[in-house]
Structure 1
Amino acid sequence: MSTSGPTDGRRRAAVARRRARETEIIAATRRLFDERGTGDAQIEDVARAVGINRAIVYRHFTGKEELFALTLVSYLDEMREALAAASATDAPAPERLRALVSAFVGYGVAHPAFVDCAQALMRRQGADLLDEISEGALFRLGRSISSCLATLSTVLEDGDRDGVFRVEDPTLLANMLYASGLGALQLARVGILVKEAAPGIPTVGQVSAEQVRDYLVGSALALVTRPDAAPAPPAP
């Protein structure tokens, strides 16, 4: 008598329970990130928030780095929706690029833990990540990042095709804009500029999130706009 049916059913149920538990742990980690920042979140805190022993967390994730990477995935997937909504228009490429950069800044300002988490992973060497994060988790992280960047690359490619942008490598430029944008978001978060009051005399000034957004928009447009293209209309 075959028992494959009941066995398969139990296996599917076990997989479903495991995925549900992983989702619960990631959601708890993100809540801790949003409440405390990434620096103060520990595995013990995550386990306590879920109501489980920390050993159970390590059954689902290879370690803290993998858990944090998959929590970043949750931010990236959410941001992808914001970027897609910003670019879902028939407007010319310069206007879509402005909307994309503005949406990126808006999301980063609203979710500072996303910036911390993304920067923490970018500071790691690739070999270290391969040692600490499973291939499956790295695939999920790469897919989430690439899907966000693909939205930006598409706008750059459209502008190049239409003759208003000059972009030799849309993928490289999208990655560069993402990396520099993360640094600028940290500046927006701190809100402080360092400058010289006089030669050799430092002082500080203030910078707003709106100023950072406008600078990033202007920088992105300046990088890609052809010299002979008509200027992009001002932001509304």
Structure 2
Amino acid sequence: MSEQEPVQQSDEAEQDGRRPDRRRSAAAERRRAREAAIIAATRSLLDARGVRDAQIEDVARAVGVNRAIIYRHFTGKEELFALTLVGYLRELQQALTDADDPEAGPEERLRRGAKAFLDYGREHPAFVDCGVTILRSGPELLDEISPSALFRLGRAMTGCLAGAVAILREGKEQGVFDIEDPDLVANTTYAMGLGGLQLARLGVVVREDAPGVPAVVPVGAEQVTDTLVEALMALARTR
């Protein structure tokens, strides 16, 4: 009996040593689950109301917590929007992959990708709002969100842009595209696309009907997106 006791004590000590790890793991899992719930609630609010009308209090209410809990998980509204944008970007990446035809030439592949991007943006206005909000934050964004959130956002953006960069690089090597920096062109076309999608939603353009006399005239969303595709293609073709 006495010979077995040390073994039993050793087993109990080993189990006691594992308990803190299990508790930490469970706490981390609960934290991840709550963060996911908060981001999902934010996505629902953005889809329903847009960025302007989505408030932290509404997100907290949807999750069933107070706003202080939101700030325990996120540095602020900018970080919450940034991580919500990650979800949109992952969906967009899949849409771009589905639209691509690796057997086609660079011009056709780039055109298909541009069309898929614009179609996704028209179907998800909150993605456009969120993307524009993040771009508008400028360099201050680097100070407003945590390094881990910035890493996740950067990885999602590069995931979306990687396909376009590869196509642009291939077209450059084949002499189809006259560009110096495929990454810069891809980033520029992303920003142009977001701005153009805002115009497509607005549905009007300004023109001069007579010298010094401006006029606001309606424009169709399809017309705007078709023009955007041609502008993006022209950017790739000319230096």
Assess same fold via TM > 0.5: yes
Identity level (%) = 58
**Would you say the 8 A contact 2:205–2:219 is kept in 1?**
yes
Of 65, 73, 76 in structure 2, the residue corresponding to residue 63 of structure 1 is 76
- C-alpha distance in structure 2 between counterparts of 1:61 and 1:200, whole Å: 49
**Would you say the 8 A contact 2:185–2:235 is kept in 1?**
no
Q: Structure 1 residue 136: deviation in Å?
A: 0.5
Q: Deviations over 1:94-146 (max 9, x none)?
A: 111111000110011111111111111111231x2232211111111111111
Give the direction of change, closer, same or farther, for the CA distance of 1:226–1:138 in structure 2 (3 Å limit): closer
Structure-to-structure mapping, 1:1-236, within 5 angstroms = 1-2=13-14, 3-126=16-139, 128-225=140-237
- C-alpha distance in structure 1 between counterparts of 2:182 and 2:142, whole Å: 26
The two structures have a TM-score, normalised by structure 1, of: 0.91
**Would you say the 8 A contact 1:79–1:104 is kept in 2?**
yes
SS at match of 1:164: coil
Letter in 2 for 1:41: A
Q: Structure 1 residue 163: deviation in Å?
A: 2.6
Q: What residue number does 1:232 align with?
A: none
- C-alpha distance in structure 2 between counterparts of 1:135 and 1:147, whole Å: 18
Q: Deviations over 1:8-67 (max 9, x none)?
A: 222111111111110110010011011011101111000111111111111111111111
SS at match of 1:195: strand
Give the direction of change, closer, same or farther, for the CA distance of 1:84–1:4 in structure 2 (3 Å limit): farther
Unaligned regions of 5+ residues in structure 1, if any? 228-236
- C-alpha distance in structure 2 between counterparts of 1:144 and 1:94, whole Å: 24
Structure possessing the higher radius of gyration over alpha carbons: 2
- C-alpha distance in structure 1 between counterparts of 2:221 and 2:20, whole Å: 56
- C-alpha distance in structure 2 between counterparts of 1:25 and 1:43, whole Å: 10
**Would you say the 8 A contact 1:164–1:226 is kept in 2?**
no
Q: Structure 1 residue 149: deviation in Å?
A: 1.2
SS at match of 1:82: helix
The two structures have a TM-score, normalised by structure 2, of: 0.90
Q: Structure 1 residue 226: deviation in Å?
A: 7.0
Q: Which has the higher helix share?
A: 2
The number of aligned residues is: 226
SS at match of 2:48: helix
Unaligned regions of 5+ residues in structure 2, if any? 1-12
**Would you say the 8 A contact 1:160–1:166 is kept in 2?**
yes
SS at match of 2:110: helix
SS at match of 2:179: coil
Runs of 4 or more consecutive aligned structure 1 residues displaced over 6 Å after TM superposition? none
